[in-house]
Amino acid sequence: MFYKIELSDHIRVPPKIFNLDPKDAVIQRIKKKYEGFISKELGIVIDVADIKNIEEGTIITGDGAAYYSTTFELFTFKPEMQEVVLGNVRDIADFGVFMNLGPMEGMIHISQTMDDFVSFSKEKVLTGKESKRVLRVSDKCKARIIAVSFKDVMNPKLGLTMRQESLGRLDWITDDKEGKEVKKSEPKKGKEDKK
C-alpha cells in the first residue's frame, strides 16, 4: 500500500550548496538521505511529497554545515498482509515467478501460480496441465501478499499467491467472470423440465 507519511528531522545542508534557496537545499538533502530508505516501520521511501516547515538553520562549530529542523512528508510503499497487488512478471524459474510491483518485487512459488498442475519450460513459460493457461514474462497479473519479511532490511521479501478467485493473469480473471455469468444465466433443470 502507498502512504504519505509526515516526519520531522534535522537536515544537514553542506556549505557547497549554500548558494541554493534553503528550501531547495533542504529538499535535495532529504531526497539524498531518504530516497530508497527501507525500514519495517516506513516500508520503502519513494520520494519527498512536501515540505511542511523549515525552521531557521543552525551552524555547528567544527562542522560548517547548516542544520535545519524540518517537518516534511514522504511517499512510501509498505506492503500489507492480504493486500491485493498488481504487477508484471519479471522472470520465471522452475521454482516460481518473480513479479515486479513497482518499488518492490515479490515471489510466487510455482504451487501458488494457478490451481492446476503446472509445468515449466526452458522458454520461461508456465503451463497448467488441465486449464492450458499459460504464464509468460511481462504478463500483467493480480496477486495477494501472503508473507512479508524485513529480516534483511536491505532486501525485504514478499511472498505472493495467485490461486484464489479474482487473482492471476488479468485475462484469466476476465474469463472466469464471464464463465460464471454464463453459468448463472443458464436455466436450472427442475422437476418441470423432466415432464
- Give residue-wise pLDDT tens across range 146-193: 999 988 888 889 999 999 889 999 998 888 787 754 333 344 444 444
- Give residue-wise pLDDT tens across range 17-60: 999 999 999 999 999 999 889 988 889 999 999 999 999 989 88
Single-letter code of the amino acid located at 97? V
pLDDT in the model for residue 122? 87
CATH code at position 95? 2.40.50.140
- In angstroms, rounded to a whole number, what is the distance separating the alpha carbons of residues 45 and 35? 5
Question: Is there a single domain that holds both residue 107 and residue 151?
Answer: yes
Q: Domain containing 68: what range?
A: 2-77
For 103, other C-beta atoms within 10 Å of its C-beta total 17
Residue 181 lies in a domain: no
- In angstroms, rounded to a whole number, what is the distance separating the alpha carbons of residues 49 and 127? 43
Question: Is there a single domain that holds both residue 61 and residue 28?
Answer: yes
Residues 6+ apart with CB under 8 A from 193: none
CATH code at position 42? 3.30.1490.120
Question: Is there a single domain that holds both residue 67 and residue 88?
Answer: no
